[in-house]
Amino acid sequence: MRDLGVGLGYLLKGQRWVARHGRQYGFGLVPGLITLVLYVAALVALALWGQDLVSWSTPFADGWTDPWQGLFRGLLTALLFALTLLLAVLTFTAVTLLIGQPFYESLSERVDRDVSPDGTAPESGLPLWRELVISARDSLRIVLRALVWAVLLFAAGFVPVLGQTVVPVVGVFVTGFFLTEELTAVALQRRRMELRERLALLRGRKTLVWGFGTPLGLAFLVPFVAVLLMPGAVAGATLMARDLLGEETGESGGKGERPVPAEPAPRAGRSAV
């Protein structure tokens, strides 16, 4: 359970880091604002025309008498909007990171240099276009995994009692895990770690991951809050990635400070767990 507090601590440390580096914070807001505008437009369109979409897709209910037709289509419309909102939360980070790859890559490198005892940051050595392709590919894989979980949780939500108690809690933890994967990917991809290795690394420290991602996932339910927290979340995820790999880090996150002992980092090309 100690790792829950440690994970939350990295989230807070990331927010403090960007608060001390205002320029990096300002640049980091841009991708989130772009994504927010796109998502809000999609949700508004669904709210305006979602009922028409449901009516078009359920012609078999045209002959139903009131109130059954209205209740049935109203329920489907509400479920469609709820599922879309859940997918928006699950995919917001992936889309924002994809749009803001150059911004967040630069921010993550700055964090690495700032906390590294020797002031250096790992580099992938890949051209930007290649990094974008890898990021888009891995983000799609994560979104598909998240979609499977979303559908399963959506279906489980109809189970009496269980669907109103256990399922929402599981959904929050699942969201937190996938958010953390997307955010730590910025730092771990620079270290040439593949998606399978990253997932194995995070599964080995699930409590730490939940401590970081679960409160962040709850905060991301408020879209504008998600935009404001995104730069700090990337910074905090970079700090946590260093912990997961056993890399030395200054105690207070600054150059020239005494580093804390660390375990040897996993060898490249092998799973970390």
Question: Which residue has better confidence, 74 or 262?
Answer: 74
The Cα–Cα gap between 209 and 180 comes to: 6
Has residue 273 got a pLDDT over 60?
no
Average pLDDT for 43-62: 85
The pLDDT-based confidence of 231 (bands split at 50, 70, 90) is: very high
269: left (phi over 0), alpha (psi -120 to 50) or beta: left
First vs last C-alpha separation in the chain: 19
Report pLDDT for 79. 81
Question: Over the chain, what is the mean pLDDT?
Answer: 82
What global pTM score does this model have?
0.74
Domain ranges of the chain: 2-245
Has residue 171 got a pLDDT over 80?
yes
User: In a 3-state reduction of DSSP, which class is residue 259?
Assistant: strand
Average pLDDT for 67-96: 80
Average pLDDT for 22-33: 86
